[in-house]
A and B are shown apart, each in its own frame.
Chain A
């Protein structure tokens, strides 16, 4: 049975491969598969790197991290449950030298450090590194080479921190417990614990890391203990997840969202082409049946042929994906040290298989349609409306599955899909309204425009598919371009307007007073000033955070650390109430202070609801709060906003230290004198606009590269969708053109009608795209990027005009085939 079918399938495959339809389909499938396989390959490389990193850079079998020192009992338990334990202290501070300053992560160790592995140091910047047999002695400080260069300081020089002089004795190249702090780009410095204590930093601002030597049983014991007794601590061990694992998973999920968008566009193109496929395959099957073959044999030929197409795609996809993988790894290696490219075949093979399964679902309507193939069809060609339903159903099913798997930020996903749905709905409405009204208004008139309107109205269902395909492409492209443009322009403008040029992210009372005095001296002003205390979320509705929220998100990642909790009795002027009820200023009774408002986006990300109970660890005190309201950021009244806010009366019952966040406007010259302030208050966390913009520029350049790459993918797919839309209707268009010419009208008339139709298609699609973009901007700019959305309609209209012109040109060029039609073809049928 298989023997005669396979050669037949091969023959048809060869014939198919020569058709334009098939080439467009292949281009769509290749693009989609290359994207997914590249993502898989990159993911595999990064995960392998992280695993290797974890095994080699933990510097211990297990590490307990806690803000502030553990109690004596807790430390005693660590000693009992391990074969050795040491600890390090670290905090973020600013080091100054000769009017230069650098933000650093300062680590304090003693002679017992390191527990495992070795510290690599050198005696000067230019010399080779060697393994240190000792830790920094009291009075010494070791700097990493970037920090030494940044402060223009050399080995032998003296660095003063809070009036304590320290001598730079070595350049540090590698710390064996680097993993725990290495996933940020902070510069690093090591001092002896004795000097660190002289600096008198507040204990709760210091991060303690307890490095332990422990076997598996002890690790399990410690893990259980931490989850029951020490929820405010973080516990990592050799067999556990890398600290970057969650970050990478979120990155993957974000790329997954991009995949959903690309898949959506590919689905439109594949859906258009499947309409042609269904007709051809049904006809082939019907002819086979007319010569005695069974329906099953027709189906087998179709399936084998599809498999041959997929097999043919494999080397192409693998080749391009490998190249892309190499480029991305090279790019990522700047961020993830020692990440190297290695060829892989199993993972891409698996990813290709999954993609093939997805494509098989798209192909399902074609195969299902073969069930309806019959010889009768060769006599009378009757339509099957259920084909469209099956095609749409399969497309939506694939999208839902991919969205469900990849959805990271639920709100963002919902917003993207919601905007797309709004765009589709508007396009459907505008198509129907404009064509129906257009037809009604012009039915008394004759000429090409009324005729084209009339033609489009008569074919509204098929035309709508075409318009929606083009419209969605326009929307996605426009939104991507707008985001790219506005991220640079609006953010910079907005930040400068509202936040002054200095931003204090953490200052205690004495530091804040010093900052205010400094600002006054420099002729500047403190624009905003808000108090907060640190709190760590440990339980939600009596469940640990890990048990409650299993899906990774930006919010969850932040909640794993201590967050800033603000207190206020009125809704801040830069917030608006989203749900629930804000507390009144007259608290009655002790329990009334245990209520909080949480930012709406955070609620959605974590899956919180009004009425949920959140347990926060505030200065070793576990406090249950009930969510009574949710709020959202409102631009225009300063950018300092908090995720979690509580009544001001709560402060009476909580003993945690108070801190300030503030923004200061001062002259650019005075920023250069900040060194004095940091010299006196090294733990003051403050960043100048200049530095912030430099950091922002780095981020922006990264975002620009990602979005540009994504925009190129979208543009390719947009072109494919337009071409597939043309191909899907090529047969009808050719017939229409031939019929028009059979009335004695010249080809020029067909060309004009064609151009009018494409202009109308582009116009309606553009309206939908513009609305969708505006809607997406309103939804996402504020909540996802904390940016006020002020759409530039002139820019949008200009971009859309360009897009429409491109649509008309691509549509016209792609329709040339149908314009080559002639009455001969009608005679020949």
Chain B
């Protein structure tokens, strides 16, 4: 973890807007902050506030209409695209491949990277997320909570530096959501991965070390663990 302490994704004065039906919609503007490896971040806000868009910008899936997003490691900056292979995703709909069993779904990223130990490592991860007894089950034979556990194992199995999760508990009941949240934070912490998640759940958001609330184009930092609000105004840079 300490070796990653200077590895971070930096968002510099980014803004996002788009045109729909001849109307210009501004989601947010002039937003700057850093996502540090090993730290956890929750993005909250009402529907349509731009949470998912911010997640996409931060993960490099989309380019901002203003500003830039870069990766910085020990003072050296490089485009975010350079570390695409170090970024993993977790989805609300899990998106496991239905033809594969749990073991092979988790082994998938390693197999694609040519790892000869793919199945062994995948098995260890499934045991870690409590599914050691479900190795040969296909997604359709697993509950929503179990599927998301498999998805978490799959996202972390290749040791990414950052994990981006979009509503990871959005499809789960309260009990399962709690378990998944614990698992997600624990695994990221253990592996030293930076975690950025979008959620509507206050419970989940409060477990993150940093909380960013988007609302009507405004961004507000909340110190979730201390319950102290800190407003990130336009042009401010927040180092969490």
What is the interface of chain A, defined by CB distance below 8 A to chain B?
443-448, 450-451, 454-455, 458-459, 735-736, 738-740, 742-746, 749, 822-824, 826-829
A735 to B109, CA, bound (A): 15
Within 8 A of A (CB), among B90-119: 91-93, 95, 97, 99-100, 104, 108-116, 118-119
Within 8 A of A (CB), among B53-67: 55-56, 59, 61-62
Q: Are B113 and A446 in contact (CB under 8 A)?
A: yes
Partner of B85, one of A446, A448, A745: A745
Q: Please judge, given known A-B contacts A444-B116, A744-B85, A744-B86, whether A458 and B100 are in contact too, CB under 8 Å.
A: yes
B34-78 CB contact bits vs A (8 Å, 1 = yes)?
000000000000000000100110010110000000000000000
Interface check B28, CB cutoff 8 A: no
Q: Are B109 and A743 in contact (CB under 8 A)?
A: yes
Interface check B125, CB cutoff 8 A: no
Q: Are B56 and A824 in contact (CB under 8 A)?
A: yes
Partner of A829, one of B55, B93, B97: B93
Chain B residues within 8 Å of A744, by CB = 84-88, 109, 158, 160
Interface check B146, CB cutoff 8 A: no
- What's the least CB distance linking B53 to chain A, in Å? 10
Q: Are B56 and A446 in contact (CB under 8 A)?
A: no
Pairs across A and B, CB under 8 Å, 12 listed = A446-B111, A458-B100, A740-B108, A742-B88, A745-B85, A822-B61, A823-B89, A826-B89, A827-B52, A827-B56, A827-B91, A828-B52
Chain B residues within 8 Å of A828, by CB = 52
Interface check B166, CB cutoff 8 A: yes
Q: Are A451 and B88 in contact (CB under 8 A)?
A: no
Q: Are A454 and B104 in contact (CB under 8 A)?
A: yes
What 8 A-B pairs are tightest by C-beta distance, nearest first? A743-B109, A744-B85, A458-B99, A742-B89, A446-B114, A447-B114, A827-B166, A459-B99
- What's the least CB distance linking B152 to chain A, in Å? 13
Q: Please judge, given known A-B contacts A459-B99, A744-B86, whether A451 and B93 are in contact too, CB under 8 Å.
A: no
Q: Are A824 and B61 in contact (CB under 8 A)?
A: yes
Chain B residues within 8 Å of A746, by CB = 84-85
- What's the least CB distance linking A432 to chain B, in Å? 16
Chain B residues within 8 Å of A455, by CB = 99
A451 and chain B: residue at smallest CB distance: B111
Chain A residues within 8 Å of B62, by CB = 824
- What's the least CB distance linking B235 to chain A, in Å? 28
Known: A446-B116, A458-B99, A824-B56. 12 other contacts (CB 8 A): A446-B110, A446-B113, A455-B99, A735-B95, A742-B88, A743-B108, A743-B158, A744-B88, A826-B95, A827-B55, A827-B166, A828-B52
Q: Are A823 and B112 in contact (CB under 8 A)?
A: no
Task: Kindly name the residue among B61, B93, B99, B160 whose own CB sees the greatest number of chain A CB atoms within 10 A.
Answer: B99
Q: How many B residues touch the partner, as a band? A: 35 or more
Chain A residues within 8 Å of B112, by CB = 446, 448, 451, 740, 743, 745, 749
- What's the least CB distance linking B69 to chain A, in Å? 15
Question: With contacts defined as CB atoms under 8 Å apart, how many contacts are there between chain A and chain B in the complex?
Answer: 84
Q: Are A445 and B89 in contact (CB under 8 A)?
A: no
A5 to B115, CA, bound (A): 56
Chain A residues within 8 Å of B59, by CB = 823
A249 to B179, CA, bound (A): 75
Q: Are A446 and B115 in contact (CB under 8 A)?
A: yes
Q: Are A739 and B104 in contact (CB under 8 A)?
A: no
Chain A residues within 8 Å of B118, by CB = 446
B110 and chain A: residue at smallest CB distance: A446
- What's the least CB distance linking B148 to chain A, in Å? 14
B99 and chain A: residue at smallest CB distance: A458
A450 and chain B: residue at smallest CB distance: B111
Chain A residues within 8 Å of B86, by CB = 744
- What's the least CB distance linking A739 to chain B, in Å? 6
Q: Are A454 and B111 in contact (CB under 8 A)?
A: yes
Chain A residues within 8 Å of B116, by CB = 444-446
B124-156 CB contact bits vs A (8 Å, 1 = yes)?
000000000000000000000000000000110
Chain B residues within 8 Å of A447, by CB = 111, 114
- What's the least CB distance linking A380 to chain B, in Å? 9
A459 to B104, CA, bound (A): 13
Task: Kindly name the residue among A446, A749, A826, A827 whose own CB sees the greatest number of chain B CB atoms within 10 A.
Answer: A827
Chain A residues within 8 Å of B97, by CB = 458, 735-736, 739
Q: Are B111 and A826 in contact (CB under 8 A)?
A: no
A743 to B99, CA, bound (A): 18
A827 to B94, CA, bound (A): 10
A422 to B166, CA, bound (A): 50
Q: Are B87 and A826 in contact (CB under 8 A)?
A: no
Chain B residues within 8 Å of A738, by CB = 95
A504 to B23, CA, bound (A): 90
A828 to B116, CA, bound (A): 33
- What's the least CB distance linking B51 to chain A, in Å? 11
Chain A residues within 8 Å of B91, by CB = 742, 826-827, 829
Chain A residues within 8 Å of B99, by CB = 455, 458-459
